[in-house]
Amino acid sequence: MTPRRRQDTAPHRSRRWVAVAAASGIVLSAYAIVGAAQADPALADAGVQTASDKRQMRGAWLTTVGNIDWPSEPGLSADEQREEMDRRLDEAVELGLNTVFLHVRPTADAVYDSDLEPWSRYLTGEQGGDPGYDPLEYAVAQAHERGLELHAWFNPYRVGMDSDIAELADDHPVRENPDWLVRYGGEGFLDPGNPEVQEWVTRVITDVVERYDIDGVHFDDFFYPYPKDGEEFDDDASWKAHGDGFDDRDDWRRDNVNQFVAGVHERIQETKPHVRFGISPFGIWRNDSSDPTGSPTSGLQSYEAQHADTRTWIQEGSIDYVVPQLYWERGFGIADYEKLADWWAGEVEGTDVDLYIGQGAYRVGESGWRGEDALSTQLDYSGDLEEVGGDVYFSYKSLTGVAEEAFEHLAEEHYSDPALPPVADVPADTEPRTGAVENLSASVSDGDTELEWEEAEGARSYAVYRLGADEVELLESGGEDAYEALSSDNLLGVTGRTSWSDSSDEEGAYVVTALDDNRLEGSPGEAVDPRS
C-alpha cells in the first residue's frame, strides 16, 4: 500500500478519535474535540474535523535499567528519588511532551510495590530492597497533575545478566521456578514457550493495571533474545512439552509470542478498557529479500531473530499502537528511515492500530546525526505521512543532554502548538463521560492570568484554550463552525489540576474543557475574558 501524505501541517489525528549490536551495521536499541458535542448533536461532525488538528503522541522512554534515566543512581533516599522524578516530569512539560513511558519491570522485578515480584535493584542497589515509598504510584500522580500520560513499560522476559542472576532475591520468580529460566549469551530470560511463564507475566501486568491509574501498558523490543553468534536458545524442554502441532520450532516460537501478546491485550480490555496497549519492536519486520511484502531493507529481521511477528499483532488488533524503533537516518543504505516510515505506514493503514515512530535521540552527535536538524529532519519526512500519529524518543536524558539543541530545533519546527493525547480504543458512538467545565474564573495579577474552575465529574484532565474575539463569537454561535475555535492554535496546554497560570502578555478569553479516561473531550463551557 502507498502511504498517504498529509495535505496540511497539522498534527496527525488518531484513527480512533471518532465522534468519534547491530546486524549488518544496524544499530539496535539501547535497551477531539472528541465525542459527540453535548450542547448540539448536529455539531458532532464539525467537532470530529477539529479533533484531527490537535491529537498527537509526543513521548519519551524513562529508563530505569542500569539507572539510565531515573533514578540517577541506586541507593538514593525516597525524597531524593521523588525530587528527581519531579524534575524529569517538569522537563517533559517544558519539552512539550505529553506522555512518559516509565520502565516499571526491567528484569522480572518491580519499580512499584508488588506481592508478586521483588523490588528492582535499581532503586536501592539490592534486589528486594524497599525504597520506602511506591515509585509508580508517585510517578502516576505527579504525571497526571502535570497533564502528562504515564504508560507502564514492562520487559516481559528479561531476567538480567549472569551476574544479576547470581544475586536474585529469594522471592524472585526464577528462584521459585528455576525451570522458567533460559541462559543465553551471558544473560537470563524467562522461557516464552512455557505456558506458566506466559500466565505469570500476564498476571503481573494485570496486577499493575488493576491497582494503578496508568494510561497504558508498553513493551519494548525484547521478546526472544537478539541472536548471538555461536549461541543457541535452549528451549528444548518446552518445545518437546508444548510444541505439538508445529513442524517448525521458529513458527512455534512466533506463536508463543503472538498468543502472549493477544492474551495481555485481552486481559487489559477486560480490566480497564481505557488503558492502551502498545509495543515498540525493532524497526525491521522482514526484508523484502526474505518476503516480497517486507521492507526494502537488508538488516536484522525481528520476525526471524526475535520471533516477533508485528504484522500479525497489527492485523489481528492485538495491540492498540505500535512504535517501531527507526533509529536510522534518512538515506541510510541498509535501513533507510524514509523507506521504513513508508512501510510501517502501509502496515497500519486501514487498521485500528495507531503508528508512532521510535526516534533515536541518543544518536545525535554520531555520523549522520549532526547539526541542529539531526532530529527534525526525521519528522520533516514522517510527520507528513497521514498514518503517523506522533513520536517517542529514546532516551529521556538525551533530550536534555546530547540531543538538547537538536530537540529544541525540532520543537520549534514541529511542536509549536501543544497536542492532546491520542484517544483510547473506543466505539465510534462513544460519548464523553464528562460534561462542560463550570464556574471558570479568570483574574490578572502581576501580568499573569490566573484561572480556576470546579472539578468536573469524570474528568481525568483539562484542556485550556485562549480565544480571540472572532473565535469567541464562533464558539458562542452554536453553528457548525463553533468548534473550529478550539483548535491546536488556541490550545495552551493540558493539566490535571483545576487551575492554570498564563504568563503570556496576549489577551483573550479562556475556555476549559474536560477529558475523560478515554481522552474524549467534553463540550466547552462559557468563555471568560478577565479584561472585559
> What does the pLDDT read at residue 19?
25
| Contact between 428 and 18 (Cβ < 8 Å) | yes
Spatial contact of 139 and 146, defined as CB atoms under 8 Å apart = no
CA–CA dist 146, 165 (Å, integer): 38
What is the C-alpha separation between 439 and 453, in angstroms, rounded? 5
Rounded-to-integer distance, Cα 325 and Cα 222, Å: 12
Whether the bond between 173 and the residue before it is cis, its omega within 30 degrees of 0, is no
Pick among 2.60.40.420, 2.60.40.10, 1.20.120.1200, 3.40.50.2300: CATH of 438-515: 2.60.40.10
First to last CA, the chain: 54
Question: Whole-angstrom Cα distance, residue 15 to residue 354?
Answer: 7
**What is the architecture of the domain spanning 57-415?**
Alpha-Beta Barrel (3.20)
Q: Note whether 483 and 43 are within 8 A (CB).
A: yes
User: Which pLDDT score, from 0 to 100, does residue 514 have?
Assistant: 97
**How far is residue 434's CA from residue 513's CA, in Å, rounded to a whole number?**
9
- The tens place of each residue's pLDDT in the chain, 532 residues long, gives 567 776 543 333 333 322 223 333 344 443 323 322 333 333 333 333 334 469 999 999 999 999 999 999 999 999 999 999 999 999 999 999 999 999 999 999 999 999 999 999 999 999 999 999 999 999 999 999 999 999 999 999 999 999 889 999 999 999 999 999 999 999 999 999 999 999 999 999 999 999 999 999 999 999 999 999 999 999 999 999 999 999 999 999 999 999 999 999 999 999 999 999 999 999 999 999 999 999 999 999 999 999 999 999 999 999 999 999 999 999 999 999 999 999 999 999 999 999 999 999 999 999 999 999 999 999 999 999 999 999 999 999 999 999 999 999 999 999 999 999 999 998 888 999 999 999 999 999 888 999 999 999 999 999 999 999 999 998 888 766 777 889 999 999 999 999 999 999 899 999 999 999 999 999 898 999 998 7
pLDDT value, residue 26: 40
Q: What local confidence, expressed as pLDDT, does residue 17 receive?
A: 27
pLDDT given for residue 427 in this prediction: 87
Angstrom distance (rounded) from CA 155 to CA 220: 7
Q: What residues does each domain of the chain span?
A: 57-415, 438-515
Retrieve residue 178's grid coordinates: 528455576
- 331 in Cβ contact with 314 (< 8 Å): no
Residue 464 pairs in a beta bridge with 493, 512
Position 188 scores a pLDDT of 97
Distance from C-alpha of 157 to C-alpha of 189, rounded to nearest angstrom? 5
Are 61 and 97 in contact, with CB atoms under 8 Å apart? no
Interatomic CA distance for residues 269 and 282, integer angstroms: 25
E-only strand ranges, 145-215: 149-154, 158-161, 181-184, 187-190
Q: Are the beta carbons of 168 and 119 closer than 8 angstroms?
A: no
Separation in Å, CA 501 to CA 1, 99, 443: 46, 21, 10
pLDDT at 484: 83
Go through the chain and tell me how many residues it has.
532
User: What cell was used for 271?
Assistant: 480490566
Residue 483's pLDDT is 75
Tell me the CA distances in angstroms from 316 to 159, 205, 259, 278, one per residue in order: 29, 21, 11, 14
Please answer whether residues 373 and 339 qualify as being in contact, where contact means their C-beta atoms are separated by less than 8 angstroms. no
CA distances from 514 to 184, 492, 524 (A): 49, 14, 8
